[in-house]
Structure 1
Amino acid sequence: MHVGKSYKLSDFLIWTRRKLYILILLGTLPVVLYHVLGIKWLVVPWTVVSLLGTATAFIVGFKNTQTYNRTWHGHEIWGNIDSSSRAWGIMCRDYLQDATKIQLLLQRHFAWLAVLRYHLREERVWEVADNRPNAEYQKYYTIPERQTTLEEELSKYLSAEEQVYISGVRNKASQLLALQNKTVKDIYDEQTLIPLQFQEMQRSLNTLYSLQGQCEAIKETPYPRQYSIIHTLFVRIFCVLLPFGMLQEFDKLDNLVTGMMKGHMIWLVIPFSVLISWMYTSLEQVGESTENPFEGSPNDVPISQICRNIEIDLREMMGEKELPPPIKAQNDILV
């Protein structure tokens, strides 16, 4: 997540430069064919281009709205994980008398957070964090889940026996919550929890199950492919036809000017068609990089930072003095 005032224009231009190269070529070719080689029949009526541009604008706007909603929903889910984790820590501290049990439940909770964030950072075929423009931008920040393995993270929180068990199951996060539930039930059976406290802790675990499921639903469900392909096709068709639609319009301007530009107004098709097309392709690229909020891009929900803040808060709640350092923004990017 970008937490600065704004992306720099230079960074944005570098990020989109490959599409700019293509757009310059698409803008230059029609002018050369029309003006230099005299192939006048290449003109496309401006009405056709404007209608296509209007339809494309609706499609682009629709996709960007939906992808923003996916990212915002991801923020809401992790905000709820944050508050539910603090509530879990308070219940463990205040409801239980056995310090060993409290430590066990909290350490497992940290392990659950680690497993969940590592799962959400896994690569999916439809994600774009590692395509060339986005991969280049990763030089400005690091993704913690790619610096250490999940096994190294779990060794901080789980016993050797539990590590072996968790490494052998498919859905590690769900099994950790199942272990939490079993431990809470055992404590209740020992009659050190009153029924109301037991119900509250059960309800808290159910909430965590639900929030985990919501994260997995976003992770495992791409933006609908039928809308994605239509969006891409419309933008590309528009960018190809736009300079052909502008040829005759700029050619007419020769009758309105004098001086050095007379007879050369047609060449302005190139910068103007590139500028307009770049607006559409940039919106497409922004929407594409926003649609998967957990993949590790600069526009992601900062799940690594949220997990670290939760761990710091819960350890402070237990009176610990040696705390892990908070994750800070790198070049205004929080992950």
Structure 2
Amino acid sequence: MYIGKTYKITEFIFWTRRNLFLLLLISIVPVLLYELLALHWLVVPWPIVAFLGTATAFVVGFKNQQTYNRTWEARDIWALKIGMSRAWAMMCRDFIKDSDRAHEIASRNLAWLTVLRYELRSKRAWENIDKSYNREYANFYTIPEREIALSTVLQKYISDDEIEKVISASNPLIQLMSLQSTALVSLSDTGELDNARFFELHKYLREFSTLQARSEKIKNFPYPRQYATVNRIFVWLFCFLLPFAMLKEFNAFNEFVTGLMKGHMVWLVIPFSMIISWVYTSLDQVGESTENPFEGSPNDIPISRMCQDIENEIRAMWGDSKPVQTINPHRIIM
């Protein structure tokens, strides 16, 4: 996730430059037809385009609000997971008498977080990470789930036998939850965990399962495609018609100006049309970049970094103050 104070305007223009080139073409063609070929009948009445612009603004605003809500919900879900993982590690350490078993169960929760983030980083057909203007930023940050195999990472948390069970399972996350539940039942049966503490830990397993389902809901159910499609159509229809509506308005300014611009005011349609259209297309692109908070873009929830931080905290609880090494300490980890 980008955590700077603000994006520079140069970065934003670079990110949206392809739209700017297209908008330049869309703005130039009507002016050339109007000014050089005298096709004055191409003018579109301004009220029609103004009405379309208002409708487009509502549609774009609706999309951005909904996609922002998806990201906000994802942030809340992972904040809960991290907070509960801290509590889980402390309860394992303090509730379970056998230190090795306690450490094993606490580490298995880190394995669950790892498998979950790998699942959330897997690609979906509707995601936007592979679009050209997003791929350009891939050199500035690291997505660990795309660089290291899941089985390699799991070796830090669970045994080879459990890794094989998890990797080969149709649903690795459910397999890990099942292993956790089985471990708690075993401790309860042997008297190492009293009923009150057993039920408290098991309640956390249910909460983890619920948070997993909420994450999967955001990952597997995209922003409705019908809304996304209508939004894109409205934006580009408005951008296409806007310069045609501005021709007559700017041509009328010739009556009031003097000097070099006298008789040539219509050429100002090009920059002003581009600026207004760029606002709409940029808002659309911003909303698009916020649709999928787990796809691995610079505007995502930084689940890899969050998992690394919670692992360091839990290791410190068990007396290991050596921090986890990052994949590449010179690059940002998402």
User: In which range does the TM-score fall when normalised by the shorter chain?
Assistant: over 0.9
**Alpha-carbon shift at residue 325 of structure 1 (Å):** 4.0
**Alpha-carbon shift at residue 184 of structure 1 (Å):** 0.5
**Alpha-carbon shift at residue 321 of structure 1 (Å):** 2.8
Runs (5+) with no aligned partner, structure 1? none
Amino acid across the alignment from 2:8? K
For 1:124-135, list aligned pairs within 5 A. 124-135=124-135
Distance in 2, Cα, partners of 1:139 & 1:164: 33
Question: How far does the alpha carbon of each residue in 1:218-261 deviate from its partner, in whole angstroms, 9 at most, with x for none?
Answer: 00000011111110110010000000000000000000100000
Secondary structure, counterpart of 1:3 in structure 2: coil
2:114 corresponding residue in structure 1: 114
For 1:193-212, list aligned pairs within 5 A. 193-212=193-212
1:159 corresponding residue in structure 2: 159
For 1:1-335, list aligned pairs within 5 A. 1-325=1-325, 335=334
Distance in 2, Cα, partners of 1:334 & 1:242: 42
1:166–1:334 Cα change, 3 Å: closer
Work out whether residues 219 and 292 of structure 1, in 8 Å CA contact, stay in contact via their aligned partners in 2. Answer: yes
Distance in 2, Cα, partners of 1:92 & 1:307: 18
**Alpha-carbon shift at residue 322 of structure 1 (Å):** 2.6
Distance in 1, Cα, partners of 2:99 & 2:318: 10
> In terms of mean alpha carbon deviation, does 20-29 or 321-330 score higher?
321-330
Work out whether residues 60 and 284 of structure 1, in 8 Å CA contact, stay in contact via their aligned partners in 2. Answer: yes
Distance in 2, Cα, partners of 1:141 & 1:187: 43
Work out whether residues 239 and 277 of structure 1, in 8 Å CA contact, stay in contact via their aligned partners in 2. Answer: yes
Distance in 2, Cα, partners of 1:295 & 1:330: 22
**Alpha-carbon shift at residue 183 of structure 1 (Å):** 0.2
Q: Work out the percentage of aligned pairs sharing the same amino acid.
A: 50
Secondary structure, counterpart of 1:34 in structure 2: helix
Amino acid across the alignment from 1:264? H
Question: How far does the alpha carbon of each residue in 1:7-32 deviate from its partner, in whole angstroms, 9 at most, with x for none?
Answer: 11111111101110000000000000
1:63–1:334 Cα change, 3 Å: farther
Work out whether residues 144 and 304 of structure 1, in 8 Å CA contact, stay in contact via their aligned partners in 2. Answer: yes
Secondary structure, counterpart of 1:298 in structure 2: coil
Distance in 2, Cα, partners of 1:119 & 1:167: 12
RMSD of aligned Cα (Å): 1.4
**Alpha-carbon shift at residue 190 of structure 1 (Å):** 0.3
Work out whether residues 312 and 324 of structure 1, in 8 Å CA contact, stay in contact via their aligned partners in 2. Answer: yes
1:312–1:21 Cα change, 3 Å: same
Moved over 6 A (4+): 326-331
Secondary structure, counterpart of 1:191 in structure 2: coil
**Alpha-carbon shift at residue 293 of structure 1 (Å):** 0.3
1:38–1:330 Cα change, 3 Å: farther
Amino acid across the alignment from 1:261? M
Work out whether residues 108 and 158 of structure 2, in 8 Å CA contact, stay in contact via their aligned partners in 1. Answer: yes
Work out whether residues 166 and 175 of structure 2, in 8 Å CA contact, stay in contact via their aligned partners in 1. Answer: yes
**Alpha-carbon shift at residue 318 of structure 1 (Å):** 1.2
**Alpha-carbon shift at residue 164 of structure 1 (Å):** 1.1
Work out whether residues 305 and 327 of structure 1, in 8 Å CA contact, stay in contact via their aligned partners in 2. Answer: no
Amino acid across the alignment from 1:238? F
Amino acid across the alignment from 1:29? V
Secondary structure, counterpart of 1:163 in structure 2: helix
Work out whether residues 143 and 333 of structure 2, in 8 Å CA contact, stay in contact via their aligned partners in 1. Answer: no
Distance in 1, Cα, partners of 2:239 & 2:321: 59
TM-score, normalised via structure 2 length = 0.97
**Alpha-carbon shift at residue 5 of structure 1 (Å):** 0.6
